[in-house]
Structure 1
Amino acid sequence: MPDLAARLRIEFHWRGGPDVVFADITEWWRDPVVLRDLPPALTALVPGPVPTVVLGPASRGTLLGALIAAHLGVGLVEVRKNDRMALHSPFHIARDLPAGYHEGGARLSFRRALVRPDDRVLCVDDWVESGGQALAIQDMVAEIGAAWLGLACVVDDLGDRAEVRARLGVRALLTAEALQAD
């Protein structure tokens, strides 16, 4: 039986045509062994104190974050994209992503009361490419005064962005380069 990293590689596909290629990870969510094994594998990557809360950006970060929060016995905060409730709300904290981010930027937000100054925050996502989302989330966490423990993700696609990787404390099970080779 293949280990978790092997299962992730087997159930991963690059899709698209000559102009647009995208990562298809949908088979990961269908595999109950992957769902069972991802939370302990990702949390084991992050050294130090146990988080008190997990932040997961919508949508797959929230899915994965819920699994990890349940595994750790802590709460989850969904980081929403383009939430109209957060537009002019003093109860939300928000950051705009750069206009060049994927399909033209986005606004990330969550309710301020859900992350407290004494929290230890673990951010979770399936894939980190530019680090834009995680950097925005890290800035919001810093504004609140909570401790940032790092970003745990399945795939690190930061390439040569070592400064971003270090600032975020990125820990990943796989690299995009390893998936290119498969």
Structure 2
Amino acid sequence: MDQIGAGLAGLFENDRPTVVMGTQSRGSLLGVLTARSVGVGLAEVRKDPGRAADSDAWWETSTAPDYRDQHLQLGLRRSLLRSGDSVLFVDDWIATGAQAEACRALVQMSGAGWIGAAVVVDGLVRSDLRRSLRVRSLLHIRDLA
């Protein structure tokens, strides 16, 4: 299991994240492995976030349509990112880039910096978005054919 976290971190071996970000649920699982490999903390992004207490402070945003043509509400506890952090986004698959774009918006809200998106499978069609998000992958969808 540790190899996949190290593999995702290795996609950005010249960058030094201070935080790994992953979306609930598979992104969070991969994020834990990647964060452990790098020796930093995890910022879990929740889908349809609910506050555990009124005192919870969150950044929230909506995604563009995802692969199911749905808009998701994403949220991140403000205490998980600080201005000046360098954030590596991790997920299992990228198809439309909607969740990664929304997560980058959360990073920008916090004042942190976006390193890029490390994913297991790149199925992104838009090359401009791949460059903008700095997507790197272990596999490309065409490798699975």
TM-score by length of 1: 0.74
- SS of aligned partner of 2:51: helix
Runs of 5+ consecutive residues of structure 2 not aligned to the other structure: none
Q: CA deviation at 1:41?
A: 1.3
5+ unaligned residues in a row in structure 1: which ranges? 1-34
Q: Out of 101-110 and 57-66, give the one that drifted further.
A: 101-110
- Tell me the equivalent position of 1:16: none
Map of 1:1-182 to 2, 5 A cutoff? 35-85=1-51, 91-99=57-65, 102=68, 104-159=70-125, 161-179=126-144, 181=145
CA separation in 2, counterparts of 1:100 and 1:109? Answer: 16
Greater helix percent: which structure? Answer: 1
- The letter of the residue matching 2:128 is E
Instruction: Select the structure of larger CA radius of gyration.
Output: 1
Which one-letter code corresponds to 1:97 in the other structure? T
Could you tell me the TM-score, scaled by structure 2's length?
0.91
Q: 1:98 to 1:61 in 2, by over 3 A?
A: same
RMSD: 1.9
State the 1:73 CA deviation: 0.9
Q: CA 1:123/1:177 → structure 2, altered by over 3 Å: closer, same or farther?
A: same
Distance change in 2, residues 1:100/1:154 (3 Å): closer
Higher relative contact order (CA 8 A, sep 6+): 2
How many angstroms apart in 2 are the aligned matches of 1:148 and 1:70? 19
* Corresponding residue SS for 1:46: coil
Distance 1:154 1:100, change over 3 A: closer
